[in-house]
Amino acid sequence: MLKRLSLVVAAAAVISGCYELQTAATGVTPTIGSEIALDVNDMGRVALGGQMGPEIAQIEGRLLQRDSSEYFVGVTLVHLLRGGEQVWSGEKIHVKSEFVTSVYEKKFSRGRSIALGSVGLAGVVALVTRSLLGSGAPDTPMTPVDTGHTQRRPRR
């Protein structure tokens, strides 16, 4: 049972992998439906402040539509200037291109995934080894042995 659970946890960690935000190449628009992040400039903070709050640093979400003048994003997370975050549930926001300083696309990170898989595998090996070799504790309680100072006598 423990082995199966360990293998399931390790497989889930490896399958899920790690993703990271990578700067989109200049002039290349991320594909519709991809996870993106947009760094917002001061003009964007002022314009979007009524909808999203005044301290927006970065908007994360799914790119729903894109044309030459704006991004249409289903927002999932907003990073604030002073380090906080706001979780959103896919609300749709129009962000003009002139409000954006940088565009990022969430992509699979091979290095991070390998590191996560290695840690998961090490954990599984530790659990399996511990279950095979035992925990070091005896299965039955030990009874004290007789010494020169004590003697055990049966009760009558």
Complete DSSP assignment for 86-138? EEEEEEEEEEEGGGEEEEEEEEE-HHHHHHHHHHHHHHHHHHHHHHHH--SS-
**Mean predicted lDDT score pLDDT of the chain:** 78
Report the C-alpha gap between 43 and 47 in whole angstroms.
6
Band of pLDDT at residue 134, cut at 50, 70 and 90? low
**Average pLDDT of 4-32?**
67
Q: What is the reported pLDDT for 63?
A: 96
Q: How high is the pLDDT of residue 4?
A: 65
- The percentage of the chain sitting over the pLDDT mark of 70, rounded to a whole number, equals 57
The reported pLDDT for the residue numbered 36 is 94
Mean pLDDT of 97-120: 73
Look at the pTM and tell me if it is higher than 0.85.
Answer: no
Per-residue pLDDT band at 156 (split at 50, 70, 90): confident
Give the lowest-confidence range in 16-20, 45-49, 80-84, 93-97. 16-20
What is the pLDDT, as a whole number, of residue 22? 75
Q: What's the mean pLDDT in 95-114? A: 79
Within 8 A by CB and 6+ apart from 17, the residues are 108, 109, 112, 113, 116
What's the pLDDT tens digit per position in 20-71?
A: 777 776 666 788 999 999 999 999 999 999 999 889 999 999 999 999 899 9
Domains in the chain, CATH or no CATH each: 19-108 (2.30.30)
